[in-house]
Amino acid sequence: MTDPAPHILRLADLPSRKPTRFALRPDEGARARLAAELGLLGIDRLSFTGALTPKGRSDWTLEAALDARVVQPCVVTAEPVATDLSETVERIYTADMPEPEGDEVEMPEDDRVEALPVTLDLTAVMAEALSLSLPLYPRAPGARFGQIDHAAPGTEALTDETAKPFAGLADLLKKGEDGGGRG
C-alpha cells in the first residue's frame, strides 16, 4: 500500500450478493508508523487479505488472514526479538446489536460479533488484529530472569529467604512455651 490513507469501505456501497475481496500490504512508511503506535521496534512484513461477505439483508462477515513479522524488545534484555505471526481473523458485523443502556453494558457471548458500522476501516481492523496477536512477553533466546538484590548502602539486601514473614514464628512460639517470653 503506497497510499497511507486508511482503506475505508462504505458497507451500503458494496455488492450485496457477492464477497468484496481486499488485500492490504502496507509499505515501509506505514509499517513504521504502525510499529511506533504499537510500541514495536519494527514490522518487517505485514499483509491482511480476505473478504467481506454479505449475510442476510444487512449483516456482514469479515474473514481475513493476517501475516506479519514483528520485532519487539525482549522483556529481560531489551534485545530485538523477531516473531512471525499468522492469524485467521473473523468479525461478524450485525445490525441486530442491542444499544447499550445505562452504566452496565452487556457484551455479546461471541467476541467476533460487533455492531454494524456505516463504514469499515480495514486498516484499523488490521491494526487491532495485529495488536491482539502480539506476544505479551517476548524473550530473546537464552534470556532468563535472575535475582536482583537492591539495598541501601550499609544494609543487607532483602532476599526470598529473609523475606519469609513467618520464618521467626517458630522461635517465638518456642520462647513462649519455655516461659522465656514473660518474666
Bin 150: left if φ > 0, else alpha if -120 < ψ < 50, else beta.
beta
Decide: 8 and 122 in contact? Cβ < 8 Å: yes
pLDDT tens by residue, the chain, 183 residues: 444 455 899 988 888 899 999 999 999 999 999 999 999 999 999 999 999 999 988 899 999 999 999 999 998 888 999 999 999 999 999 888 766 666 665 655 667 878 778 889 999 999 999 999 999 988 888 877 765 556 677 777 666 666 666 666 777 777 777 765 555
pTM for this model (two decimals) = 0.71
Helix 28-38 to helix 122-133 angle, to the nearest 10 degrees? 50
Task: Map out the domains of the chain as residue ranges.
Answer: 8-133
